[in-house]
Amino acid sequence: MARVKKKERQEMLLAQVREKPFLTDEELAKNLEVSVQTIRLDRLELGIPELRGRIRNMAEKAQNKVKSIQSGEVVGELIDLELGRSGISLLRITEDMVFAKTQIAKGHYMFSQADSLAIAIIDAPMAVTGVANVKYKVPVHVGEKLIAKAEVVKVRGNKFFVWVKTHNETQEVFRAKFIVVSWGDKLGGKTS
């Protein structure tokens, strides 16, 4: 990419942060081919908080919306939520999450992140998992940041069909399809 003017660069920065709010200053610098210092100055001028602040802001908004469970029960950090439609959570893989022999993350962590997110996006007072079909695509290791995106793809009465796709920094590592069953509202028990 050729060196670009400041205005253009700042527009690209804004677009990148909007599209991928979890990029670090280092990653943004690499993408825009400028120094980390330049990214920091641009962020200051544009009023974009640093990564930690961006996540905190999003997380607070998202966590206040959860109805079906307590927001603290989401495994990982819930950072975006459109109730009844979609949600995003972030899980950092730490040393205690991997098998000692293989140093590969235990599959139940990716499952727990996806499962609890699938429940959290349901717009009902209570919900539990009914069915799950999951696929582990790539081994996950310590230090990876997993972004899980959940989406309600179909609703049949009180049954919600939720798809979750989980990426690390470079690729999809896991995907899952859930049927989540809700109750405690007017939809509950309407259909078989």
> Which range in 3-11, 32-40, 95-103, 156-164 contacts its own copies by CB under 8 A?
95-103
Which letter does DSSP use for residue 73 in this model? G
What residues have CB less than 8 Å from 121, skipping those under 6 apart?
81, 82, 83, 84, 85, 86, 87, 150, 152, 162
Cα separations (Å) of 114 from 51, 88, 137?
Answer: 23, 9, 14
Q: Binding its own copies by CB under 8 A: which of 15, 46, 131, 153?
A: 131
Does position 133 interact with its own copies (CB under 8 A)? The reply is: yes
Judged by CB under 8 A, does residue 138 bind its own copies? no
> How many residues bind to its own copies according to rule CB under 8 A?
29
- Window of 2-10, 14-22, 79-87, 104-112 that interacts with its own copies by CB under 8 A: 104-112
3-class secondary structure, 62: helix
Which residues between 25 and 54 bind its own copies (CB under 8 A)? none
Taking only Cα atoms into account, the Rg of the chain, rounded to an integer number of angstroms, comes to 19
| Cα distance between residue 159 and residue 163, in whole Å | 13
Rounded distance between C-alpha atoms, residue 82 and residue 151, angstroms: 9
When asked if residue 94 is in the footprint of its own copies (CB under 8 A), the reply is: no
- Asked if residue 157 binds its own copies (CB under 8 A), the reply is no
Task: Pick out residues in 60-79 that bind its own copies (CB under 8 A).
Answer: 68-70, 73, 75
Among 126, 142, 155, 187, binds its own copies (CB under 8 A): 126
